């Protein structure tokens, strides 16, 4: 296992650092990951409840499990892991956070350069009149409806949907240009995000994984700790160095 000092030295040396985050960074905010034990996909089949085809045929299924996940955008707050990534951006060493999460916690923590690959719970839109609503609170109903009578859909990527092309393009670009990738709290199996750490490596960057259960087989450095304890330690060391 790498030391915090070693990682901090790399970050300060390389500067062009990006973070790729997944559900694990939000675990300590109280949001369950999907694939770990007790996760949502143990209870519900994602293809039946969270695919675009399922949503088109019966949107109530999706909205039913949304209650078990995060019904409203403002239900959760960033934890020390999110705040540490915001501090690294503020210190000028972290260029972008690329996230698979839809909880909006990186933005709430203060990161400005956030690429949300799977969209965000912050917005919903009407499938009929296309109106977009900012949705800190989703209207009641399973499914909820727009004033026009159309069904409301989250602005998140469901299984079987394309990722937002601009976000994906930017993620590829920033990854190809980075010198160091912090890979935090992701099982690194959901494509195309899972290809990004490999792209980073092919482009000559080092990959530092922060995950209590190491998940990426090609990591150059591993911190097998929870994000909310490991990332603040890294920030403390970076602050000493710059």
**Applying CB under 6 A, which residues contact ligand NAD?**
22-28, 31, 33-36, 39, 100-103, 118, 185-187, 190, 210-213, 215, 226-227
Catalytic residue among 96, 106, 118, 125: 118
Q: Which is nearer to Zn ion, 117 or 152 (CB)?
A: 152
Binding mask 96-135 for Zn ion (x = CB under 5 A): ------------------------------x-xx------
Q: Which is nearer to ligand NAD, 102 or 146 (CB)?
A: 102
Q: What's the gap between Cα 77 and its chain centre?
A: 14
148 binding partner (options Zn ion, ligand NAD, none; Cβ < 5 to 8 Å by kind) = Zn ion
Residue 7 within binding range of Zn ion, rule CB under 5 A: no
150 binding partner (options Zn ion, ligand NAD, none; Cβ < 5 to 8 Å by kind) = Zn ion
Please give the C-alpha separations between residue 96 and each of 37, 38, 110, 146, 233, in angstroms, as whole numbers. 30, 31, 12, 34, 20
Q: Which of 70, 115, 121, 146 binds Zn ion (CB under 5 A)?
A: 146
Q: Is 125 a catalytic residue?
A: no
Residue 212 within binding range of Zn ion, rule CB under 5 A: no
126 binding partner (options Zn ion, ligand NAD, none; Cβ < 5 to 8 Å by kind) = Zn ion
Q: Are 206 and 220 in contact (CB under 8 A)?
A: yes
Q: What's the gap between Cα 200 and its chain centre?
A: 17
Up-side HSE of residue 207: CA atoms within 13 Å toward CB?
25
Residue 150 within binding range of Zn ion, rule CB under 5 A: yes
Q: Are strands 206-210 and 221-223 parallel, antiparallel or unpaired?
A: parallel
Pick the piece of the chain touching Zn ion (CB under 5 A) from 40-48, 86-94, 148-156, 176-184: 148-156
In this structure, the chain runs to a length of 242
22 binding partner (options ligand NAD, Zn ion, none; Cβ < 5 to 8 Å by kind) = ligand NAD
143 binding partner (options Zn ion, ligand NAD, none; Cβ < 5 to 8 Å by kind) = none
Question: In angstroms, what is the minimal distance from the CB of 59 to Zn ion?
Answer: 14
Q: Are 43 and 122 in contact (CB under 8 A)?
A: no
Contacts for 112-118 with beta carbons within 8 Å, 24 or more apart?
113/89, 115/167, 115/170, 115/171, 115/174, 116/164, 116/167, 117/157, 117/163, 117/164, 117/167, 117/168, 117/171, 117/193, 118/156, 118/157, 118/163
What lies within 8 Å, CB to CB, of 46 at 6+ separation is 34, 40, 159
**Residue ranges in contact with Zn ion by CB under 5 A:** 126, 128-129, 146, 148, 150
Catalytic residue list: 118
């Amino acid at each position: 296992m790498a030391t915090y000092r070693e990682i901090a030295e790399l970050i300060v040396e390389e500067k062009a650092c990006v973070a790729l985050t997944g559900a694990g960074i939000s675990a300590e905010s109280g949001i369950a990951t999907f694939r770990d034990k007790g996760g949502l996909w143990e209870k519900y089949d994602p293809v039946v409840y969270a695919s675009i085809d399922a949503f088109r045929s019966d949107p109530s299924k999706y909205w039913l499990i949304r209650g078990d996940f995060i019904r409203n955008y403002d239900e959760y707050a960033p934890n020390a892991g999110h705040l540490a990534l915001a501090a690294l951006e503020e210190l000028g060493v972290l260029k972008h956070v690329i996230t698979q999460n839809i909880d909006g916690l990186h933005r709430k923590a203060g990161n400005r350069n956030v690429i949300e690959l799977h969209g965000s719970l912050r917005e919903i839109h009407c499938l009929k009149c296309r109106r977009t609503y900012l949705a800190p609170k989703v209207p009641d109903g399973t499914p909820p409806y727009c004033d026009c009578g159309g069904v409301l859909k989250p602005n998140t990527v469901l299984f079987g949907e394309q990722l937002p092309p601009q976000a994906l393009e930017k993620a590829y670009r920033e990854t190809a240009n980075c010198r160091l990738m912090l890979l935090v709290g992701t099982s690194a199996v959901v494509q195309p995000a899972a290809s990004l750490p490999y792209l980073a490596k092919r482009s000559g960057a080092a990959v530092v994984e922060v995950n209590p259960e190491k998940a990426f087989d090609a990591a150059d450095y591993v911190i097998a700790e929870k994000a909310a304890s490991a990332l603040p330690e890294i920030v403390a060391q970076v602050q000493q160095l710059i």
